[in-house]
Amino acid sequence: MLKFILNNNEVSTDLPAGTVLLDYVRYNQHLPGTKIGCREGDCGACTVLVGELAGDQVRYRSFTSCLTPLGNVQGKHVVTVEGINMEQLNPIQQAMVDESATQCGFCTPGFVVSLAGFCLSGKKPTAQNAVAAVDGNICRCTGYKSIERAAARVAQLLEAGEGQDPATYVAEQQILPEYFTSIKSRLRALAVDTSPNGHVLSGTLQFVGGGTDLYVQKHDQMRELATRFLFNQADLQGIVRQENRCVIGGAATVSDLAESAVMQEFFPAFRPFLRLVSSTPIRNMATVAGNFVNASPIGDLTIMFLALDAQLVLSDGHTAREIPLRQFYLGYKVLEKAPQENVTAIWFELPDAASCFHFEKVSKRTHLDIASVNSACCFTVQDGFIVKAGISAGGVGPVPMLLPKASEYLIGKEVSEGLIQKALEIAQTEISPISDVRGTETYKRLLLNQLIKAHFLALFPRLNARELLRRLSC
């Protein structure tokens, strides 16, 4: 039996925990405001908010309900557009109407819910942050300018509430319904075991983290599979520092990583790159470990952590072992992992003052898209000489890869345009891109060169850009 709060009602269901929230909301609860656009998390028409207790507050994040198993909202507060409706239009809705930010209207509830999520997020009330909250919502009619204008007005609504508890403020200001103030105590009262794993049936065990890849790839099967839900498992949460290591829980999401106090204090250079990873709702759902295990050759986080030489802790429930991420990939979607093992933690050494990290990604669309090629690098530089180097590259082979030869070549050398050219030549021998929907082989080879140049231009601004661009470009 799954229990959670849906809008202003405590609900329970016997449906399989693998059922997607979208179908439950629309067809079991008959709340048709949540729309179906793509069922792959790429349009945002089905966006809902999911709130859970976090310390003394309820923390709300936007989810695409098409990729959310019911098991992942056990014991939480799920908010659909119906749950933010008040007698009159609420001020978010009014802003959308006033700015003519809705045309056919099919995507509109998703935008409204995402903006409500922004109001509950406690993020700084800037127009930029309000727009970021709808970065997972696609509209085909408006051209977005009217939505930008509406988002800016929503940000203004929040200016007076900075520093206050968001749920209390939005209820007081009648931005969202009054009942939001009651949710904290109701979630406490609900007090269910948030991990819905009961007796696991026979058959191959399917681990589910955020579900953002599994529910795209195996949508039809997920409902019936013998599933082990990791997303809410208490021992897999959190991001902590142990000596100089950053340890990331096996269920920590990309948003957890972005908001992590440890990362912000000890590795502030990292966060900006996460904006290039998918969209806000997907980052809210997708786990770092899931990105690794999915083994996409162009997984953004995989590429970042390959450069950082991250280590994985795997456990089959009895025995734990460690393996470097760099040794995790044996072939296309083949992992050095037994079926019964899951990633319980990930750790890496926090970079010191002599180290620098950079990430580059080019996709057809800069945001909410999968890379044509991506690459990360981590260099340690002493007296102008590279003493440690790791360059990773995605989209240029069957697995996300480190470029060991190109990386090795840099060690002990002083950075120069000529050195980079030589490293690029070596890198080209290490990759085997193919032509596919994300680009031709020719393009991917050229693009990797460009991205590696971009790393150096970003990290070593004294380089001669004109000279560097000319080298190995044709």
Partner 1 sequence: MKNIDSGNHTKGQSVYLDDIPLVAGTLFGAVFSSPVAHGHIEQLYLAEAAQHPGVVRIFTHQDITGENQIGGIIPDEPLLAEHEVDFCGMPIAFVVAMSDEAARAAVKKIKVDITPLPVITDPRVAHAQSKLIVPPRTFRLGNTELAWEQCEYVFEGTADTNGQEHLYIETQCAYAIPQENGELKIYSSTQSPTAGQRTAARVLGVPMHQLEVDVIRLGGGFGGKEDQANAWVALCALAAHHLRRPVKYVLHRLEDMAMTGKRHPYSSDFKIGLDKDLKIVAYEVDFYQNAGAAADLSPAIMERTLFHTTSTYFIPNVRATAFSCRTHLPPNTAFRGFGGPQAKFVMESAIATAAEKLGIDACLIQKKNLNQTGDEFPFGQKAVSEAQACWHKAEELYDVEKLRQEVDAFNATSTLYKKGLALMPICFGISFTNTSMNQARALVHVYYDGSVRVSTGAVEMGQGVNTKMLQVAAQTLSISPAKVRVQTTSTNRIANTSPSAASATADLNGKAVQLACQAIIKRLKEVAAQVLQAPETAIELQDEQVLLNGQETELDWKKLVTAAFLKRVSLSEHAHYATPDVHFDKATEKGHPFAYHVYGTAITTVTVDCVRGTYQVDAVRVVHDFGRSMNPAVDRGQIEGGIVQGIGWMTLEELLYDSAGRLRSNTLSTYKIPDIYSVPKEIAIEPLQTEQDNLAIFRSKAVGEPPFMYGIGTYFALRNAIKAFNPNSPIAFDAPMTPEKVLLGLYPQSATGTQHVHEQSLRHVAAS
Which of the residues 299 through 338 are near partner 1 (CB under 8 A)?
332
Q: Quote the tokens at residue 154.
A: 């929503």
Task: Please say whether the beta carbons of 313 and 320 come within 8 A.
Answer: yes
Candidates 323, 320, 379; CA nearest to 354 is: 379
Contact between 28 and partner 1 by CB under 8 A: the answer reads no
Does residue 146 touch partner 1 according to CB under 8 A?
yes
Q: Which of these ranges, 40-48, 242-250, 300-308, 419-427, lies near partner 1 under the rule CB under 8 A? A: 40-48
| Neighbouring C-beta atoms of residue 178, cutoff 10 Å | 12
Query: Of the two residues 148 and 425, which places its CB atom closer to partner 1 in the complex?
Result: 148
Dihedral in degrees, nearest 10, Cα atoms 192, 195, 196, 200:
-140
Q: Is 53 a binder of partner 1 (CB under 8 A)?
A: no
85 binds partner 1 (CB under 8 A): yes
Q: Given the complex with partner 1, which of 42 and 52 has the nearer CB atom? A: 42
Q: Which of 8, 11, 57, 89 binds partner 1 (CB under 8 A)?
A: 89
Site size toward partner 1 (CB under 8 A) is 92
Among 48, 70, 92, 389, binds partner 1 (CB under 8 A): 92
Taking CB under 8 A as the rule, does residue 52 contact partner 1? no
> In the set 93, 232, 233, 302, which binds partner 1 (CB under 8 A)?
93
**Does 100 contact partner 1 by CB under 8 A?**
yes
Site string for partner 1, 358-377 (x = CB under 8 A): --x-xxxxxxxxx-x-----
Q: Which of residues 397-426 bind partner 1 (CB under 8 A)?
A: 398
Contact positions with partner 1 (CB under 8 A) in 152-211: none
* 97 counts as binding partner 1 under rule CB under 8 A: yes
Our finding on whether 9 is near partner 1 (CB under 8 A) is no
Q: Which stretch binds partner 1 (CB under 8 A): 75-83, 233-241, 258-266, 320-328?
A: 75-83
Least distance in angstroms from the C-beta of 175 to partner 1: 14
* The one segment of 81-89, 201-209, 313-321, 375-383 that binds partner 1 by CB under 8 A: 81-89
By beta-carbon proximity to partner 1, the closer residue of 240 and 454 is 454
Binding status of residue 39 toward partner 1 by CB under 8 A: yes
- Should residue 138 be labelled a site residue for partner 1 when binding is judged by CB under 8 A? yes
We find the least distance from the C-beta atom of residue 439 to partner 1, in angstroms, to be 5
Q: Does 284 bind partner 1 (CB under 8 A)?
A: no
The partner residues of 414 in beta bridges, in order of sequence, read 385
Cβ closest to partner 1, residue 45 vs residue 308:
45
